[in-house]
Amino acid sequence: MSDIGYLKRLFQAYYKENRSEIPVVNLIKEREFGFVPWDKRTIMNRHLSFKNHESITKYLADEGPRHVYSSGALYLEPDNIDMDNKEYQGCDLIIDIDVDHFYTTCKEDHDLWYCKECGKSGKGMPDKCPNCKKLKLKTVTWICEDCLEIAKNEIIKLLYNFLIPDFNINVKDIKIAFSGHRGYHLKIENNKIRKLSGNERRDIADYLTGENISFELLGLQEKGGNIFGISKMAFGWSYKIIKRIEEFLLKPKDIIENLLMDEKQFNFNKNLVKSFLNYQDDLLNTIRSENKNMWTIEGFGLFPEHQKSVKYTHPYNKKVDFARIVYSIYIRISIFSSELRVHIWTWK
Ligand SMILES: [Zn+2]
Ligand SMILES: [Zn+2]
């Protein structure tokens, strides 16, 4: 028997034995299904639809496919082979958290890169070749427990810092699954959300990632070394920023000192650290107060010098200040826009 034939039989047996474990797909009749078979001549069998859960479990046991996909989009005619005639009805909001897209320290141990331009190689996840500064890098990536742990933490942040408090999403509408790669997919199955346009989905992505955040719109102003603005009574991003500063101020002095001095964090000099620690309790009182909303923190401005917008992509970016707080809060995600009609919801 060929290896492929053997694997197919194993999968058929697996699906047969684990029939009761196969997750039920919500609104199954309105979704398009796709399967990657073991036969390498076919890339994917698409435009398939199923009437109910029993018919899909039977298909899996009969065919034992290698990969199974169902669309995030809902259609009146999911099996129509012409996308324009499927009659699109909406799409679940799917958020992808994948450690491939952001830096984690464990990558220094298990990810390799090679520069096609100058031939230099090394470990980690550089944006460009540290030697010739070109972008033509070939990478070999790996996944470890730490990677998955970091991705899980991002999911927890996404749920409890954003989706539930800011968007009032009900936990019962949320499904989370391993993405089959280095992370997780979080799917929101809710009728209002399904109707969102591509632009509206991008707006949500911007909000979650703190992209183009405007401190001015949040009510923060910097005048003559003082910061005026938000109090803890605020909500949304204002609240998150204040809460993060409060958490920071509640840490023991020696930990604050280390963080402020750490060149990868705030990179403060000794005098600034001293002055910051002298005002630690005052600052805490100020941000906890409902009335006072002016704080003076030496060396601590709204924006890094000369920077008008906030965008951090790498923790080695040596910029300090308020914007760095944003960096510690935002979610590292990508959102599939509704144009992506057949999405990658791996059935795991
Ligand atoms: Zn190079
Ligand atoms: Zn790792």
Question: What is the percentage of the chain residues whose pLDDT exceeds 90?
Answer: 33
Nearest ligand for residue 131 CA: 1
144-200 tens-digit pLDDT: 999 999 889 889 988 998 899 999 999 999 999 888 778 888 999 999 999 998 888
Region for 290 from its dihedrals, namely left if φ exceeds 0, alpha if ψ lies in -120 to 50, beta otherwise:
alpha
Q: Predicted confidence band at 122 (pLDDT cuts at 50, 70, 90)? A: very high
Contacts of 343 (CB under 8 A, 6+ apart): 69, 71, 72, 73, 91, 94, 336
| Residue 306 one-letter amino acid | H
pLDDT at 88 over 50: yes
Q: In angstroms, what is the span from residue 110 Cα to ligand 1's centroid?
A: 20
Following DSSP, what letter does each residue of 78-92 receive, concatenated?
Answer: TT-SSGGGS-EEEE-
Q: What span, in angstroms and rounded, lies between the C-alpha atoms of 324 and 148?
A: 24
Nearest ligand for residue 122 CA: 1
Can you give the pLDDT at residue 198? 84
Q: In angstroms, what is the span from residue 137 Cα to ligand 1's centroid?
A: 8
Q: Which of 103, 208, 177, 95 is nearest to 146 (CA)?
A: 103
Domains within the chain, CATH numbers bracketed = 3-90 (no CATH), 92-102+150-210+331-348 (3.90.920.10), 107-140 (no CATH), 221-329 (no CATH)
Q: In angstroms, what is the span from residue 188 Cα to ligand 1's centroid?
A: 42
Find which of 62-76, 309-323, 330-344 is predicted with most confidence, using mean pLDDT: 62-76
- Encoding tokens for residue 159? 């749920």
Q: In angstroms, what is the span from residue 124 Cα to ligand 1's centroid?
A: 14
DSSP 18: T
Backbone angles phi, psi at 188, to 5 degrees: -110, 120
Q: In angstroms, what is the span from residue 52 Cα to ligand 2's centroid?
A: 39
Nearest ligand for residue 105 CA: 2
Q: In angstroms, what is the span from residue 104 Cα to ligand 1's centroid?
A: 22
Nearest ligand for residue 116 CA: 1
Cα angle 237, 240, 243 (rounded to 5 degrees) comes to: 150
Can you give the pLDDT at residue 344? 32
Under a CB-based contact definition with an 8 Å cutoff, are residues 251 and 284 in contact? no
Q: Predicted confidence band at 311 (pLDDT cuts at 50, 70, 90)? A: very low
Q: What span, in angstroms and rounded, lies between the C-alpha atoms of 320 and 299?
A: 9
Q: In angstroms, what is the span from residue 341 Cα to ligand 2's centroid?
A: 31
Nearest ligand for residue 119 CA: 1
Coil, strand, or helix at residue 21? helix
Q: What span, in angstroms and rounded, lies between the C-alpha atoms of 343 and 348?
A: 15
Nearest ligand for residue 120 CA: 1
Can you give the pLDDT at residue 8? 93
Q: Give the number of other CB atoms < 10 A from CB of residue 74.
A: 22
251-308 tens-digit pLDDT: 899 988 888 887 766 667 788 788 778 878 887 887 777 665 666 665 566 654 434 4
**38-63 mean pLDDT:** 92
Helices (H), the chain: 3-17, 53-63, 107-110, 145-157, 164-167, 191-194, 198-209, 236-249, 253-261, 270-278, 280-288, 322-329
Nearest ligand for residue 118 CA: 1
pLDDT at 20 over 50: yes
Q: What span, in angstroms and rounded, lies between the C-alpha atoms of 59 and 62?
A: 5
Nearest ligand for residue 113 CA: 1
Q: Edge-to-edge, what's the strand order for the sheet holding 334-335?
A: 174-178, 183-188, 93-98, 334-335
Q: In angstroms, what is the span from residue 306 Cα to ligand 1's centroid?
A: 30
pTM listed for this prediction = 0.75
Q: In angstroms, what is the span from residue 290 Cα to ligand 2's centroid?
A: 43
Q: In angstroms, what is the span from residue 327 Cα to ligand 2's centroid?
A: 21
Q: In angstroms, what is the span from residue 128 Cα to ligand 1's centroid?
A: 8
Contacts of 199 (CB under 8 A, 6+ apart): none
DSSP 99: G
Q: In angstroms, what is the span from residue 105 Cα to ligand 1's centroid?
A: 22
